[in-house]
Structure 1
Amino acid sequence: MLVSTLKQSRIFELPFEIIVLIVSTFSEYDMKNFSMTCHNFRQLSFDQELWKAMYETRFTTDKDTVIKYSANSLWKQNYLKKATLRLSAVDDMEISHMNTEYWETEETESSIYGHVAKLNLVCWFKMIGNLESVPPGEYKVQWRMRVVSNSGWTDSFKFRVSLKEIYDNDPITDDTHCMPFEFYENPTIVGCGWIVITLPGRFVINKKLGFSKVYFSHDDITSPWKYDLQEFDWVRLIPISPTAKYDDSKLYVKIDNYNRMVFVKDDSILGNIYKFQD
């Protein structure tokens, strides 16, 4: 058995129930930093009771899951799966007129989820969704999509992210971004496979707010019809350091010549890089 060469922290003099109570407010990032401080903390980070307490604190609205996994020894895995900061367009978002002649679900191996949302024809274009219990911090917002044709479209869709529910008549804020001019006429984008759009700036959740719900919207409800424009896979948040420079190269995995995935892990992304100008 390994023995820490460091003097044992006084935290281990506390009753285990108190340690669980302290750690229950941690995020997965806090736990990672906690486990790197010494061998004893690293061993403690594998304790399933701690991950169970973290799960119940962060996802208190998910009572059925808590009951279901009450005797489960895989609390860490359950927590990390639930804490994934990504929404499937098909599974997790609300799309106006989905699964009608206007929008359809398209099965594909090019998505981690196995299917994407395909736009056929629509006037009222609106996608909304939310992530529950996002830890405080700074984030980049990314959308994975594929532009299949321009269909003569030259207008601009809006991307919005907010800590408040987004309504159609809400004023434009700093966290609202529009597609660059002539995006749908760019020959390096139209018909060139999946792209991952990284929105400019940083989305910040203040520490005082604690775990927060984050709302996403991608919309254009103007009168012109939009048809055969694009397909959507997911939207996600990328945690970033408040001081380190954002680096695209750390966020992408390789694809083969046929734009298919060659390696997939729990939170990989596939496609070409397209970043709005900061």
Structure 2
Amino acid sequence: MMMNQSDSPLFIKLQPRMSDFFSQVPSEIVVNVLSFLPAKDLCSISLVNKNLWSFIQDDYVWQSICINQFPVNYVSEELNKMIAEEYASRGSNSEEQPVNIINKKLYKRLSRHISFMAKERRITWLDIQQGGGNYHHWRTLEDSQSEFGKIVFLDNVWWFDVMSTLKAVLPGIYDIVWRLKIKSENDIHDLNFSATVVEKIEDGNEEMTIHEYNHTPQRSMFSSIARKKDWVEYRLPYNLVVPEREVIGDKLVYHDVHLKIFNYSGFLKTGLWIDYVRLREHDESRVYERFE
């Protein structure tokens, strides 16, 4: 039987071990390489040896990852939100001490593709007459079943847009999931769902549409959800594809995703609760409840 070269004892002896290889590479180069890798790959690499594990535990590495993988204005925006939330959690009587930002936590925040409607508040006529009248179109309600703790409820409206933009979405294939509840299919039907992937350039305002998806469920879907009388995760019947990023002229080219539910038909709509919309990395083994 012939021996493959890779099975040769001499080949194995001469082949450099991974730990030996990385021990000879300057630290700044290792950090630079790691800062462009997806989080999943970083987790795998951390298992190779103690040297790489220590690199990936270093907060400076995660700071570099945030800077290299997300547009600067988005990183700055989320960083400021983290600082504000930290001060708010301390209370008014807390000492004014600097906030210690953990960049690994910041990375998780930047790559967490979910929007809570009551928090983002990007809904037409939401609480428009709060405190100023008895009639509301949309209302914000507290709900212990929501991760954020609040949801939005459709009281009465003739037409509406519910929209959200998920910024700097990482490349991949995603399921689009809306968490909602319906009182009666007679009052809520013929809703239109849309998703648009747009390309943007760092520090720029213009965007170019890359993919556009639209779906109008059958009326039976609304009946099925209404019969549940509980929150459901409604997954749209297609996968959303976000292309790879690239750097052109020192500018990061990245992708936002616009998500929307809308209906402009002339009938009075009521009895719709919405918690969130999220992009969940597509997994063939994951099973969703079917409503259509």
TM-score by length of 1: 0.74
Is the 2:63–2:103 Cα contact (8 Å) retained in structure 1? yes
Shift of 1:174: 6.2
Per the alignment, do residues 184 and 240 of structure 1 end up closer, same or farther by CA in structure 2, a change over 3 Å counting?
closer
Deviations 1:206-238 (A, max 9, x none): 22566421111111122222122x100001111
Per the alignment, do residues 214 and 276 of structure 1 end up closer, same or farther by CA in structure 2, a change over 3 Å counting?
farther
Shift of 1:87: 0.5
Residue equivalent to 2:126: 98
1:83 aligns with 2:111: yes
Identify which of 247, 252, 258 aligns with 1:215: 258
Identify which of 221, 226, 235 aligns with 1:183: 221
1:275 aligns with 2:290: yes
Q: How does 1:221-232 map to 2 (within 5 A)?
A: 221-228=264-271, 230-232=272-274
CA-based RMSD:
2.8
Q: Give the total of aligned pairs.
A: 236
Deviations 1:167-211 (A, max 9, x none): xxxxxx86211222233333x633521000111221111225664
Bigger Rg over Cα: 2
Residue equivalent to 1:237: 279
Identify which of 36, 52, 67 aligns with 2:63: 52
Deviations 1:52-101 (A, max 9, x none): 11122314113255578798352112221232111101112511101131
* Matched residue type, 2:145: S
Per the alignment, do residues 15 and 199 of structure 1 end up closer, same or farther by CA in structure 2, a change over 3 Å counting?
same
How far, CA to CA, are the matches of 1:52 and 1:13 in structure 2? 24
Is the 1:161–1:175 Cα contact (8 Å) retained in structure 2? yes
How far, CA to CA, are the matches of 1:53 and 1:223 in structure 2? 51
* Matched residue type, 1:113: F
Residue equivalent to 2:28: 17
* Matched residue type, 1:60: V
How far, CA to CA, are the matches of 1:45 and 1:108 in structure 2? 38
Q: How does 1:128-277 map to 2 (within 5 A)?
A: 128-150=163-185, 152-153=186-187, 155-164=189-198, 175-186=213-224, 189-190=226-227, 192-208=229-245, 211-228=254-271, 230-240=272-282, 245-248=284-287, 274-275=289-290
SS in structure 1 opposite 2:198?
coil
How far, CA to CA, are the matches of 2:63 and 2:99 in structure 1? 10
Per the alignment, do residues 211 and 41 of structure 1 end up closer, same or farther by CA in structure 2, a change over 3 Å counting?
farther
Residue equivalent to 1:270: none
Shift of 1:44: 2.0
Of Structure 1 and Structure 2, the greater helix share is in 2
How far, CA to CA, are the matches of 2:286 and 2:51 in structure 1? 33
Gaps of 5+ in 1: 1-5, 166-172, 249-272
Is the 1:130–1:213 Cα contact (8 Å) retained in structure 2? yes
Per the alignment, do residues 133 and 180 of structure 1 end up closer, same or farther by CA in structure 2, a change over 3 Å counting?
same
Gaps of 5+ in 2: 1-16, 84-97, 129-135, 200-210, 247-252
Is the 2:31–2:55 Cα contact (8 Å) retained in structure 1? no
SS in structure 2 opposite 1:95?
coil
How far, CA to CA, are the matches of 2:160 and 2:269 in structure 1? 8
TM-score by length of 2: 0.71
SS in structure 1 opposite 2:218?
coil
Per the alignment, do residues 213 and 19 of structure 1 end up closer, same or farther by CA in structure 2, a change over 3 Å counting?
same
Per the alignment, do residues 143 and 137 of structure 1 end up closer, same or farther by CA in structure 2, a change over 3 Å counting?
same
Per the alignment, do residues 82 and 149 of structure 1 end up closer, same or farther by CA in structure 2, a change over 3 Å counting?
same
* Matched residue type, 1:17: E
Per the alignment, do residues 72 and 17 of structure 1 end up closer, same or farther by CA in structure 2, a change over 3 Å counting?
farther
How far, CA to CA, are the matches of 2:188 and 2:159 in structure 1? 16
